Amino acid sequence: MQAVIIIPETEWRQHLARLDKLEQAEAARQAPPPPPDEVLSTAQASVYIGLSVDALLRARRAGRLQGVRLNEKDWGFRRSVLDKYPRRYHRAAQAA
């Protein structure tokens, strides 16, 4: 013989909502981590973003771009940072 527990419908819906929330949290926890962000060298980044190497390094020195030190002479730039740069600092073309 099985035991039966009768609960109000509102309480039942609350339990179902909590169960869904727990299942989503567990699925998110078990999801694979996102791939690491690719770091481009200064030359590769300048080609990718469409700036000269000098302009790219000036933007890094001015703090508009965050760079990653690769060695004593060269800087690297994360692709995600470069993707955000033109949208944030892009000047609209003026109509003639």
Q: How many domains does the chain have?
A: 1
Which residues lie below 8 Å from residue 65, measured CB to CB, with a gap of 6+? 56, 59, 77, 81, 82, 85
More confident residue, 25 or 96: 25
Cβ count near 42 (within 10 Å): 19
Say whether pLDDT at 25 is over 60: yes
* Residue 61 confidence (pLDDT): 93
Does residue 64 belong to any structural domain of this protein? yes
Q: Is residue 78 part of a domain?
A: yes
pLDDT digits (tens, 9 = 90+) for 39-84: 999 999 999 988 899 999 999 999 999 999 988 888 999 998 998 8
Query: Domain for residue 62, yes or no?
Result: yes
Q: Report pTM.
A: 0.56
The parent domain of residue 55 ranges over: 39-89
Q: What percent of the chain has pLDDT over 70?
A: 90
The burial of 76, by beta-carbon neighbours within 10 Å (0-12 exposed, 13-18 middle, 19 or more buried), is given as middle
